[in-house]
Structure 1
Amino acid sequence: MSYDQTLRYFTWLSGALVIVLFGLPWLALTLFGLDQGTAPEVITRRAGILFLGFFLLAPALRRVQDSTTRRMISRALAVMMLVMAGLGMAEWGLGRAGPGLILASITELAFCLAFLRLMKHPD
């Protein structure tokens, strides 16, 4: 998968997460088997806004031509995805979240691997 295509998918994922986490926080909490309430919804909405930043940045990052910069972008996103996947699996393994978090972790791991591949072949 090319750099452009990987970031395009990442943009779509980020946009979907903005909609779900910010607009429908109860849905994310239900999918992940988490308790609902004011505090979890506040934190879920705030997480949605973080993905809004990625959603707005990713199209501009797709236009980056410099290989070194592409590698740095890929490295940062790979680390972020790996840590999110690891955290998700740990929370699930500790019984703090439902099996819906496994799907999220698998998706994050797939993006991590795609970004790691792009570190070696940024063009």
Structure 2
Amino acid sequence: MTFRTACYALMILCAGLAIGLLAVPDMFAVVFGMSPDPAAAVMTRRAGVLFVGLGGLIYCVRHVIEPAHQQSISRVVVVLMAAVAALGLVEFFQSNVGVGIFVAVIPEVIFATLFWRYAWA
């Protein structure tokens, strides 16, 4: 997969998450095995806005061809995705979330893997 294609895939994920997190925040709490409450909905919507920003940033850099720039961008994506995947696993093993967290962890690991080849090329 090319860097550009990986960026497009990540943009689509970010757009879907942004829309979902902003439109139906309670659904994410239920999927992750948590009880939906107003505080969780506030934080979920805030996360949705962050995905708008991340998706926009990835959209802006999708045509970067300089290997050093692709490397820097990819390292950020790898660290971000690996960190949130690890956090999801920690929360799961501490019984703070249910098995639904793997709906998030699996794509996070996939995107960390996709960008890995550009991060340390």
1:6 paired with 2:1, answer: no
- Flag as ranges the 4+ runs of structure 1 deviating above 6 A: none
In the other structure, the counterpart of 1:33 is: 33
In the other structure, the counterpart of 1:22 is: 22
1:87 paired with 2:90, answer: no
1:35 aligns to what SS in structure 2? coil
In the other structure, the counterpart of 1:50 is: 50
In the other structure, the counterpart of 2:65 is: 65
Q: Aligned-pair distance for 1:45?
A: 0.3
**TM-score, structure 2 as length reference:** 0.96
CA RMSD of aligned residues (A): 1.0
**TM-score, structure 1 as length reference:** 0.94
Distance in 1, matches of 2:78 and 2:13, equals 15
Instruction: Tell me the matched-pair count.
Output: 121
**Percent identity of equivalent pairs:** 31
1:63 aligns to what SS in structure 2? coil
Distance in 2, matches of 1:102 and 1:65, equals 33
Distance in 1, matches of 2:4 and 2:120, equals 15
Distance in 1, matches of 2:21 and 2:8, equals 20
State the Cα deviation string for residues 18-51 of structure 1 (Å, max 9, x = none): 0111111011111111111110000000000000
Consecutive unaligned residues of structure 1, counting only runs of 5 or more, are none
1:106 paired with 2:106, answer: yes
Consecutive unaligned residues of structure 2, counting only runs of 5 or more, are none
